[in-house]
Chain A
């Protein structure tokens, strides 16, 4: 397995991926504002280090599964930004042919099992994918992401019990961004220590600074190692923060602007890595500008591709209801 290192090349890769997610999400927000994206659209801005850190230590064949806040996970696992944007805009060239939309996208070839709109539902499904890994003895781990709000759903604990009982290779990644819609963690949870939620089931857990991509990748690597060695599941509580509203339509009255601003200024995962790159590898302003330009071009290409793609053919209404 790959131990996370901090070579210049690797750090720049992490930086690029986080920046791509941020710029892509900003673009998605803009396209939503213009009416090209409809329904619900949950942006991942602020949380980029979590998925980018974890993806950096994934082994070929490992899977991931998450909630509706899924665009970042798709980009991080190597899915094509063009096809992601096309799905967001409901076009035939999208990952689900325009039938799934923002909350429901999948790529079996990249091991991405969605994209789930029902809070908590992906947790037992993720354990099921891990069950199949064990059944097939393929040495793979399933990273199962869910929010701290979802962590109160009953099926999460039914899953913890089975995952531990059967030593399933699943890493439960709780993305604790402090809020579930307008409800802060203290208003919905009897205990705030998400990493300790597995104690009763004998599942070890760890709280991680989810705004630091290097810490994320180190802890994810340890957790995956634990799973692969047959010791069963592991819980990672990623302490993170979402900058934007829950979805595009959000009254934003449950927290102060100062709270958001403070985290953006002091803890931003991209700025933090940027400072490290400057300090450690003396990356110049000009080099960063070049990266910015490259990322912008990818994002622009994705939205052009999406907006120039046709809507699905009307016959698609009746396809894919059943497998052949």
Chain B
């Protein structure tokens, strides 16, 4: 019985990888658990174990081959018994879908997003041609964060980074890659898994005038440390009558990731945004991420800096020089329009920009505002826009109850009631814990389609 060995996927977002090493050659006998190859991506290395017992017949890709698509054939084993049939069946299930995540929504998002970003690219490029002094380079959000931290650490020796796996492991999501080598273990500090403890410790260090950047592996785990963020970091300046401030950045991925379910996939933006004493940032583009993170590190108050795992690998043109800082508390009008204002932030911008492409095709001119900072919110920019368009839709990934959108809506009602031609609508995640199943997860998230129908609704169009 011939059994086919396929290129495995190592992570929810992997589409291809390289075959770093074969441990077997044709004719070798293997049994379950034997390592047959090393598979590598930019993020991970996996020893690929056989789950079959049999003899290697043929290796179909050479050692060192890169960009092998997930689920493509890499070797054939001669096995005994029925296992081969079973494996074949698994293959059949995938036959029409060679690239593994083609069928998942996460990737269709990412795919369309690639288009969105290239359109953003074009726009930014035009912009750049006008602006001769700046230099544009392509940066991923991951690189933007990494370089912002490195630059600020070079400028100020009081700045240091601490968190789980930030040093030797190079970051759970590879954000802090190379920082340990550059700055040493006094300034890039691996902690035990003790979020409440190391957060409190960092707050104490900040009270004494040094400047911690605390990385949470994800903000789901910052729940362990919420007390120190809310009760200690945010409030001590006030309680001490201005004697003790807390220059600290709490950062890490926030919001939905892919298929990790209720405890690992949730957006805490509005929760932190409700706390006086904190500043809260959730950027979208690499440029804003870099400029705002630099501002956050220089800020004399505690800043919650919310990143997004799905955005880490996205590439954007970055138009600013290395030392440029983007001020906290300023929104950015990304697209000028007259029919409706769409307000979003973070990964919500991805859905918004995608929706906006279709809206343009429908002849609807949307003004798109990226809040970037969600505490304090730049209401000046919002109100000015709403006074012009008279209609507003908000887009975010967080839960609908007490969302940023609901607060923005209420403020628009207070500050621009007479200008509104329709109620402000909110597109948000659903009011449920994040489910694991692929179809339910998709249904739990907001989408470009939801944004388009909300826009049509405020325009009274069908």
Q: Do A and B come from one complex?
A: yes
- Residues of chain A touching chain B, judged by Cβ–Cβ distance below 8 Å, are 22-23, 26-27, 29-36, 38-40, 45, 87, 90-92, 96, 98-104, 116-120, 149-150, 152-154, 180-183, 187-189, 245, 248-254, 257, 264, 293, 296, 300, 303-304, 307, 311-312, 314, 316-318, 321
Contact A33 B101 (CB under 8 A): no
- 7 A-B pairs with C-beta separation under 8 A: A33-B70, A153-B193, A153-B194, A183-B190, A249-B44, A250-B44, A253-B169
Q: Which residues of the other chain, A, contact B83 by a CB distance below 8 angstroms?
A: 296, 300
In whole angstroms, how far apart are the Cα atoms of A149 and B169 in the complex? 15
Smallest CB-CB A-B distances: 6 pairs:
A33-B8, A101-B436, A38-B259, A39-B259, A90-B437, A98-B437
Known: A36-B93, A182-B165, A264-B33. 7 other contacts (CB 8 A): A34-B9, A35-B101, A90-B259, A100-B436, A104-B436, A187-B168, A254-B168
Contact B193 A188 (CB under 8 A): yes
Contact of B192 among A152, A248, A300, A307 (CB under 8 A): A152
Residues of chain B from 211 to 258 with CB closer than 8 A to chain A in the complex: 220-221, 223-224, 257-258
In whole angstroms, how far apart are the Cα atoms of A100 and B262 in the complex? 7
Tell me whether A245 and B101 are in contact in the complex, defined as CB-CB below 8 angstroms, given that A98-B437, A316-B440 are known contacts.
no
Tell me whether A245 and B44 are in contact in the complex, defined as CB-CB below 8 angstroms, given that A23-B32, A99-B436, A254-B169 are known contacts.
yes
Contact of A103 among B101, B263, B438 (CB under 8 A): B263
Contact B44 A317 (CB under 8 A): no
Contact A118 B258 (CB under 8 A): no
Q: Kindly provide the distance from the CB of A102 to the nearest chain B CB, expressed in whole angstroms.
A: 8
Tell me whether A321 and B432 are in contact in the complex, defined as CB-CB below 8 angstroms, given that A29-B49, A307-B93 are known contacts.
yes
Contact A311 B94 (CB under 8 A): no
Q: Which residues of the other chain, B, contact A311 by a CB distance below 8 angstroms?
A: 437-440
Q: Which residues of the other chain, B, contact A318 by a CB distance below 8 angstroms?
A: 432
Tell me whether A312 and B221 are in contact in the complex, defined as CB-CB below 8 angstroms, given that A34-B90, A250-B44 are known contacts.
no
Residues of chain B from 237 to 288 with CB closer than 8 A to chain A in the complex: 257-264
Contact of B193 among A152, A248, A252 (CB under 8 A): A152
Residues of chain B from 93 to 129 with CB closer than 8 A to chain A in the complex: 93-94, 100-101, 104
Tell me whether A104 and B12 are in contact in the complex, defined as CB-CB below 8 angstroms, given that A120-B193, A150-B193 are known contacts.
no
Q: Kindly provide the distance from the CB of B400 to the nearest chain A CB, expressed in whole angstroms.
A: 13
Q: Which residues of the other chain, A, contact B190 by a CB distance below 8 angstroms?
A: 183, 187-188
Contact A101 B165 (CB under 8 A): no
Residues of chain B from 9 to 56 with CB closer than 8 A to chain A in the complex: 9-12, 14, 32-33, 43-49, 51
Q: Which residues of the other chain, A, contact B259 by a CB distance below 8 angstroms?
A: 38-39, 90, 101
Contact of A35 among B9, B191, B193 (CB under 8 A): B9
Q: Which residues of the other chain, B, contact A182 by a CB distance below 8 angstroms?
A: 165, 168-169
- Residues of chain B touching chain A, judged by Cβ–Cβ distance below 8 Å, are 6, 8-12, 14, 32-33, 43-49, 51, 70-71, 81-83, 86, 89-90, 93-94, 100-101, 104, 164-165, 168-170, 172, 190-197, 220-221, 223-224, 257-264, 430, 432-433, 435-440, 443-444
Main secondary structure of the interface of B (DSSP, over half): loop
Q: Which residue of B lies closest to A316 (CB)?
A: B440
Q: Which residue of B lies closest to A88 (CB)?
A: B436
Contact B220 A248 (CB under 8 A): no
Q: Kindly provide the distance from the CB of A166 to the nearest chain B CB, expressed in whole angstroms.
A: 23
Q: Kindly provide the distance from the CB of A262 to the nearest chain B CB, expressed in whole angstroms.
A: 14
Q: Which residues of the other chain, A, contact B436 by a CB distance below 8 angstroms?
A: 38-39, 87, 90, 96, 98-102, 104
Contact A117 B263 (CB under 8 A): yes
Contact B224 A118 (CB under 8 A): yes
In whole angstroms, how far apart are the Cα atoms of A173 and B16 in the complex? 39
Contact of A153 among B70, B71, B224 (CB under 8 A): B224
In whole angstroms, how far apart are the Cα atoms of A284 and B55 in the complex? 23
In whole angstroms, how far apart are the Cα atoms of A300 and B43 in the complex? 31
Contact of B438 among A38, A118, A251 (CB under 8 A): A38
Q: Which residues of the other chain, B, contact A87 by a CB distance below 8 angstroms?
A: 436
Main secondary structure of the interface of A (DSSP, over half): loop
In whole angstroms, how far apart are the Cα atoms of A31 and B89 in the complex? 12
Contact B261 A104 (CB under 8 A): yes
Tell me whether A314 and B45 are in contact in the complex, defined as CB-CB below 8 angstroms, given that A35-B94, A181-B165, A182-B169 are known contacts.
no
Q: Which residue of A lies closest to B12 (CB)?
A: A38
Contact of A40 among B49, B89, B191, B260 (CB under 8 A): B260
Q: Kindly provide the distance from the CB of A155 to the nearest chain B CB, expressed in whole angstroms.
A: 8
Contact of A249 among B43, B191, B432 (CB under 8 A): B43
Q: Which residues of the other chain, A, contact B104 by a CB distance below 8 angstroms?
A: 35, 38
Contact A317 B432 (CB under 8 A): yes
Contact B220 A317 (CB under 8 A): no
Q: Which residue of A lies closest to B44 (CB)?
A: A249
In whole angstroms, how far apart are the Cα atoms of A91 and B440 in the complex? 10
In whole angstroms, how far apart are the Cα atoms of A119 and B8 in the complex? 28
Contact B49 A26 (CB under 8 A): yes
Contact A183 B261 (CB under 8 A): no
Q: Which residue of B lies closest to A245 (CB)?
A: B46
In whole angstroms, how far apart are the Cα atoms of A134 and B94 in the complex? 52
In whole angstroms, how far apart are the Cα atoms of A303 and B49 in the complex? 18
Q: Kindly provide the distance from the CB of B142 to the nearest chain A CB, expressed in whole angstroms.
A: 15
Q: Which of the listed residues B51, B93, B94, B190 has the most CB atoms from chain A within 10 Å of its own CB?
A: B51
Q: Which of the listed residues A245, A250, A264 has the most CB atoms from chain B within 10 Å of its own CB?
A: A250
Q: Which residues of the other chain, B, contact A99 by a CB distance below 8 angstroms?
A: 261-262, 435-437, 440
Contact A30 B196 (CB under 8 A): no
Contact A118 B263 (CB under 8 A): yes
Q: Which residues of the other chain, A, contact B195 by a CB distance below 8 angstroms?
A: 153
In whole angstroms, how far apart are the Cα atoms of A153 and B94 in the complex? 42
Tell me whether A248 and B46 are in contact in the complex, defined as CB-CB below 8 angstroms, given that A23-B32, A35-B101, A98-B435 are known contacts.
yes
Q: Kindly provide the distance from the CB of B153 to the nearest chain A CB, expressed in whole angstroms.
A: 22
